[in-house]
A and B are shown apart, each in its own frame.
Chain A
C-alpha cells in the first residue's frame, strides 16, 4: 500500500489507505513530460534515488518540526519546504558538474537535493558546532561550496544579484555552466531582482532564475502582491521564460533542462516559474489561518502532493512496489531521526568561536600573503 502523504499529521506511521484521502492516488499520474529525452534516459535506480531524496527532505523537515515544537531544540525561523520537494530535487537533478545553485531562506530542500548530508544540516539548526556552518548560519544560511551550493540567503531577493554574479564568473572564466538562481514569488517585486534580470540579459549571463511560486509571499497571496504574470516579466528584458507544474517531477526536470541548456550552450538567461505549494506556514510561527483556507491546503495535499504523485508514477512504471516504498520510507525516517540524535549529542560552539570566521586573514595568519582560495585554477 503506498504511503499517503496527504495526511495532515506528519507522522508517516499512519497506515490509512490512500484511496480515502487521495483522489487519483490509485491511478498512475501520467506526466506529459515522461517521454522527454531528459526523463526517458533515466534508469530505474536514478528514479528511485530522486524519489528517495524527496522523501528524505520531507522526513527531515518533519523531524525538524518536532525538534522545534515538541522538543524545543531548534529556535528562530524555520521555513519548511514540505509540499515543494519536487522543485528542488527536479531542478538539481539536471545539474551538471559545472552548474551552480543559490537560493533564498527556504533552503533545506535544495541543500539535501545537492547532496548535503542530513547530520550537519540538523546540527546547524540545533546551533551546534558540527553544523554545516558551525552553528553560525542557521536554517536560512546553509552553504556547501564543494557541492557548488552557495546558500541559503535570508533577505528576500538579496541572493538574486549574487546568482547573476555566479553566472558572470562562469562566463568570465569560459566555463560552460549555469547558475540556478532560486527565488520565491514574494521576491519578484524587489528591486534587486529586477536589477539582476537586467544585468543578466544585458550581459548574456548563463543564469536560470527559478521562481518557486507557492502562491503566498508570507501571508500575502500572489493576487494581493504582484501585478501581472511573474515569469512573463522576462519579456521586458528580452529573456526567455516558461511556467511549469512543480508537482510533476518529470515536468520540472524537462523545463529546467531546457533553460539550463539555453544558459550553458548559448549563454542566455531565462526565467522559469514553477508553480508549487507549501503545506506549512511561512515559518513555524505562522498560524496559517488568516490568509488561506484549510480546505485549500487539504485539496493540494489530496490531489497534488509531489511525492505521492511521483510514487504513483513509479509504481505504475513498476519501479516501486509496496515493499520498496516501505523500506525507503523507513530508511528516510531513521536517517532523520539519527540526524536529530547527532545534533543533540553535538557540542555548541565555544565563546572563542564567536570571533572566528569573520576575517580570512585572522583565521589564516600563516598564509597572510597568499591569494586565498581561487576556483578554476
Chain B
C-alpha cells in the first residue's frame, strides 16, 4: 500500500473530488498560484485551472459568505482557511448563515460547503493563530465538525465531507501535515460520525481526536513498555456527528476512561463526552473520568512552555497512571 503524507492525502482527496464532480470549487487565500500556504493544494491550479481553484483576497467573511450563497445554488465550495483561527473574522457567515439556513428555511435550502484548514497549537505562533474551535463550532446544530489524525482518515473523511449536503468544518493540523501513513491507491470513503479504535486494550480507554490521538498512542506505548498496561485508544475522527456507541463500547470494556484533547478544558469536547459517558455508562465505570487538555490559558508563545501547555505523551502517561 502506498505511504503518503497527511498533506498529500488531503491533496489527493481534493483532486479526486474536483475530478469527480464539476460542482466542486476550491477557494481560499493562496490556494492557487502560491500552491497553498502549507502546500496542501499544491499543483491543483495547474491541473484544474483558475475556474476550479480560485485565489481569494484576504477577506474571510466575504469569500466564505459567497461560498455559502453559491452552495445554496448547488455549487460545492471547498474553502480553505489558512488557519482555522481566522474563522472569527467570518463568524457570522460560518456559524449564523452556514449553520442556520437549512433550519430557518424549514429544510428547503441546503448548504453543502466545506471549510477546511489547520486548527492547532504547538507551532510557536502565539494565541491569535493557535485556536482550536472544534468545540465552539460543534456547539452549533446544523454543522458537522471533523478532526482527522492520520493520512488515511484525512483522505477518506474529506471526500465524504465534500459529498455531504450540509456544512462540514474540516480541521487539520500543521504538525501532522508531514506525518506519513498507508493510504490505499483505490478510492474509499469514511463516513462522518464513525470513530475508530486505533489501538486495542483492556485496562484503560483513552478517547482523543486530531493530534491528541497520535500523542495518546505514544503514551499507550510508554504505558505498555514501562508498566505492562494495556491501553485502548479511541479516535473520534468527527466531533459532530459524534460516535457515542464506539466510545461507550470501549468504556464498557475497560471501565476506565481518560479524555485527551488539545483544546482548552472549559466547555470543551471532553466536558460533553464526560456527560455522555456518566449518563450512559455510569455503572460500567470503575474510576472517575479524567481528562488531559491544554492548560487553561491563551496559547503561550514560549516554545518549551507551549510544549507543556498542550497534552504530550508524558502528561498523558502520568494522568493514566494516576487512574490505575
Contacts and interface: CB of A to CB of B under 8 A. Distances in A.
Interface of A: 100, 102, 131-138, 141, 143-145, 150-155, 158-170, 172-173, 179, 191-192, 195-196, 198-199, 202, 356-361, 363, 369, 371-377
Contact of A169 (B73, B101, B165): B73
17 contacts: A141-B105, A150-B69, A161-B66, A161-B93, A165-B66, A165-B68, A166-B72, A168-B69, A172-B25, A192-B62, A358-B103, A359-B166, A360-B110, A360-B165, A369-B163, A372-B74, A374-B23
B225 interface: no
B208 to A, nearest CB: 25
Nearest to B72: A150
The 10 closest A-B pairs by CB, nearest first: A165-B69, A161-B65, A195-B62, A162-B69, A357-B107, A372-B165, A134-B106, A169-B73, A165-B66, A374-B74
B85 to A, nearest CB: 18
A358 B75 CA distance: 20
Contacts of B92: 155, 158, 192
Query: Which among A155, A167, A191, A360 has the greatest number of chain B C-beta atoms within 10 A?
Result: A360
B65 A162 contact: yes
B164 A361 contact: yes
Given A133-B108, A358-B142, A155 B96 contact: yes
A172 B26 CA distance: 12
Contacts of A179: 69
B61 A202 contact: no
Nearest to B111: A360
Interface residues of B, number: 45
A199 B93 CA distance: 15
Contacts of B21: 371
A196 B66 contact: yes
Interface string B6-47: 000000000000000101010000000000000000000000
B67 interface: yes
A62 to B, nearest CB: 25
Given A131-B106, A172-B51, A359-B166, A196 B65 contact: yes
A199 B57 contact: yes
A198 B165 contact: no
B59 to A, nearest CB: 4
Given A134-B106, A150-B109, A170 B73 contact: yes
B63 interface: yes
B105 A151 contact: yes
Contact of A143 (B65, B97, B108, B166): B108
Contact of A199 (B23, B62, B96, B101): B62
Contacts of B69: 102, 150, 161-169, 179
Given A162-B69, A166-B72, A195 B104 contact: no
A202 B241 CA distance: 37
A361 B51 CA distance: 29
Contact of B106 (A132, A162, A164): A132
A358 B70 contact: no
Nearest to A360: B165
Interface in B79-107: 92-93, 96-97, 101-107
A376 B74 contact: yes
A241 B230 CA distance: 70
Contact of A202 (B51, B57, B73, B102): B57
